[in-house]
Structure 1
Amino acid sequence: MRPRWFGCVAWLTVALSGCGSLPSRHSSSPGNVVRIAGTKGHWQILLNGRPFELQGVGAAYARGSDGADYLAMARAMGANTVRTWGTRQGTREFLDQAHRYGLYVDAGIWLNPVYEDGTCSYITDTAYQRQVRDETIQYVTAYKNHPAILFWNIGNETIHFTRKEEERVAFSRFLEALVQEVHAIDPHHPVIHTSAFTSAVDYVKRYAPSVDIFGLNVYGGLEDAHREVIDKLSIPYVVTEFGPIGPWDRPRDIHGKAIELTDVERSEFYEQQAAFIQRHRGYALGGFPFALGEANQVSLIWWNLNYQRYKRFAFLKLQALYTKQPMGNRPPAVRALEFSKQQALRPGEPFEIRVDYWEPEGEAVEFRYFASTSEETPTLEEFQNREIPLKVDGRGPVVKAEAPRQEGIYRIYVVAVDPHDLAGTLSGTISVTAP
């Protein structure tokens, strides 16, 4: 299976280094002492001398656009650590709030990915290398004693998008020098470098031996990735992102768009991969399901454990695994989404939306409908799609709607909400064509 293609430039607008002034009231107080103990197959995290079993979740922001408290949701899930991707996400306010909730942070430090078109080069762009090196040192110096810091996560899928060997080698050597500098400033927090699938394994092994933990972003094929990492590397790994398979592994609809998984199908991927990580602790130190938040690659719900403040089925499955408590109330399960007309609607043309769903507890369900653009190209933008207003008559499982006013292919969504702020979701596509 192909590894997913986003996760790098996805965070450019918010995650690039550029820390500015980073005062911290924790800068003079002692921070955590974190180290990796044991031997291959028996590795464990020691946090201030005590074994620490990482139970993570990706959470780039403390709050959502609707006020949803993602760090509170992480705590409610049973996570003890959250992952960020860049320094503009892991701000002092974010770290302080995580600490108040009893959460640790795998603190991301963004390094621009290398593309075939030469957008970023670790051979020729020495000015960028100086800049990101200075900003990394500044960030680590500012927060190395913050009580929320667990790891530094330097770089995310940085060489996956180029096949140029000289660029891959140049980046890996830059990474090695940077990791050595971070270790010199802060010997108490291990450094992760994150790879798309196993694309960076050989380069970390040969050119960046100072990396402490190998990070894996995996969306299908975790067993194969595990085998390659343990065969080639002599360091533990963390699954820095995992979740349902990507659009590259999904069948296509009549518009050529990836068919969305149901929430029940989606939850099975999270559950299976989390269970795999648990079975292979000693090689794996833990994992971060992707993700709490509003990232909207492919669709507004593809890789999200929530929709706004509403928890979805995968969230509850992970919560049961992390807390070792049986799942309680379950969200409505949306099994299918049908449209009376799907192709070549005219702008504003009426059509019917019909939802096939099941409410496990037989409780009242409120249905919400909206639309979005349907981009799936590998541009790696965090917010690739945007919500589009959808005029709908009613809030039941069968409603009349009006097609968007502009031509294009749109995703139409239903969010079925129960009285406990649990939600089931699904999307499908329509096309709008001007007369």
Structure 2
Amino acid sequence: MVLWIAWRLVDSGYFTASRPSVVTIERSEAGDRLLVDGKPYLVRGVCYTPIPVGKDYEYNFWGDPARPWITDGALMREAGVNTVRFYRMGKNPAEVRRVLDELYSKFRIRSLAGHYLGFWSWPPPNYADPDFRARVKAEVLEMVRQYKDSPGVIGWILGNENNYSFDGKVQRWSSDAIDAMANHEDQRRERARIYYRFVNDIAVAIRRIDPNHPVILGTGEVKSLDLAKEFAPDIDILGMIAYRGPGFGNLFRQVRQKYDKPVLMIEWGADSYNALRRKPDEKAQAEFVKLQWQDIERNAAGGKGEGNSLGGTIFEWTDEWWKGNENLPRTWSVQDTAAHWNHAAYHYDADVPGGMNMNEEWWGIVRLDPKEDDEAINARVPKKAYKELQDLWTK
């Protein structure tokens, strides 16, 4: 009876661990493993931004008195989720610590804490500007100081798809010296050099403050990883964002050849709206998600692949109803069925006229019901992808 009561108190969150976890990386012939307090830890996670119907990214869920993370945490635990990824932390450290601590103490769900490195700032980022770099670095180090002792934190993610500012055409930045270069490839490589050196500088500074948690470089795809290897050698883990359809092809081998860091898939998944049939398609999403996770797991230590996968955080937990028209608040209460970009590898609706088949507001593995439940938040309705992952993660 005493043991049962003690277990219930721990399970309810009555007791909260007071010490931070020690997270290390083991690299051997068997593959790469993440160790949390000395025990192997395969990340089975979700990207977590619980924005309710009618709100946008400015919504402060950290301070919501309804505490949506409690409802979500219980549902996550049932699915075998052990990790959440936060793209950015809230403005109030006390609120953030409460969320981190309650997710861990009540549900044993650990957290990856992120910082955009100013990528979505206004004015747009300029990594060639020393003052901009200094400000962003100070923000990151303050984040680390604030949350490094939270028992649920297991790592720091720097950036998201920031490399698309030189590998793509998103949030482009430059300098007079870069503009003076005649060759566009030289310009790209110089931007990459500046950015990766900056990230490496932050990683070194983080390690001085917090030697117990790895630093993760968030990057989209593999194009400039050869430059990351040269200019960001002090990164611990590559946080990979990749959407390649039902699997990842040779991605894990490409990382091995270009950068040779352990890989954590920090964004992957599929949307649940079929642009060709013009209706929700949870079955197709579930089939893709299953194959994607099996590929991630196959490339983990002991699997038949490259052995450099540490797991992943699927994009995303719940649908976001604001993304289709982020500048029109009146549209945030209706889930947009318009497609916003195209990707032929998502073949279940790739044949739609015009080719636009990717629906930004339908990526969650949990659907939001606009009506509120007993906890005064949008009711959560697990999709088939949730149940597929539950089968995979709780077996």
The alignment's TM-score, normalised by the length of structure 2, stands at 0.66
The amino acid of 1:175's aligned partner reads: V
The amino acid of 2:42's aligned partner reads: E
Q: How many residues align?
A: 287
Question: CA offset at residue 64 of structure 1?
Answer: 4.2
Aligned-partner Cα distance in 2 for 1:305–1:50: 28
2:85 paired residue among 76, 83, 89: 83
1:222 paired residue among 248, 267, 277: 248
Aligned-partner Cα distance in 2 for 1:114–1:57: 22
Question: CA offset at residue 218 of structure 1?
Answer: 1.5
Partner of 2:185: none
Secondary structure at 2:249's aligned position in 1?
helix
The 8 Å contact of residues 219 and 245 in structure 1, kept in 2 or not, is answered as: no
Partner of 2:330: none
Question: CA offset at residue 300 of structure 1?
Answer: 6.4
1:305 paired residue among 365, 388, 392: 365
Secondary structure at 2:157's aligned position in 1?
strand
Question: CA offset at residue 293 of structure 1?
Answer: 2.5
| Structure that is richer in strand per residue | 1
Cα deviation code 1:309-337 (max 9, x no counterpart): 1111101100110011xxxxxxxxxxxxx
Cα deviation code 1:77-97 (max 9, x no counterpart): 111111111122892122022
Partner of 1:265: 284
Matching of residue 190 in structure 1 with residue 192 in structure 2? no
Cα deviation code 1:251-291 (max 9, x no counterpart): 778xxxxx666110111111001011111112101011111
Question: CA offset at residue 204 of structure 1?
Answer: 1.9
User: Which consecutive residues of structure 2, in runs of 5 or more, have no partner in the other structure?
Assistant: 1-16, 55-65, 168-187, 302-307, 324-339, 341-358, 369-379
The alignment's TM-score, normalised by the length of structure 1, stands at 0.61
The amino acid of 1:120's aligned partner reads: P
**Map 1:260-299 → 2, pairs under 5 A:** 262-282=281-301, 283-296=308-321, 297=323, 298=340, 299=359
Question: CA offset at residue 232 of structure 1?
Answer: 2.0
Secondary structure at 2:159's aligned position in 1?
strand
Aligned-partner Cα distance in 2 for 1:145–1:233: 30
Partner of 1:102: 108
| Structure that is richer in helix per residue | 2
Which structure would you say has the larger RCO, counting Cα contacts within 8 Å and 6 or more residues apart? Answer: 2
Partner of 1:168: 192
Instruction: Return closer, same or farther for 1:231/1:175 CA change in 2, 3 Å cut-off.
Output: same
The 8 Å contact of residues 95 and 105 in structure 1, kept in 2 or not, is answered as: yes
The amino acid of 2:104's aligned partner reads: H
Secondary structure at 1:147's aligned position in 2?
coil
The amino acid of 1:277's aligned partner reads: I
What is the percentage of aligned positions where both structures have the same residue? 26
Instruction: Return closer, same or farther for 1:51/1:175 CA change in 2, 3 Å cut-off.
Output: same
Largest Rg, 1 or 2: 1
Cα deviation code 1:356-413 (max 9, x no counterpart): xxxxxxxxxxxxxxxxxxxxxxxxxxxxxxxxxxxxxxxxxxxxxxxxxxxxxxxxxx
Matching of residue 314 in structure 1 with residue 385 in structure 2? yes
**Map 1:58-137 → 2, pairs under 5 A:** 58-61=47-50, 64=52, 69-88=71-90, 91-100=96-105, 101-113=107-119, 119-124=124-129, 126-137=130-141
Q: Which moved more, 1:170-179 or 1:98-107?
A: 98-107
Matching of residue 157 in structure 1 with residue 161 in structure 2? yes
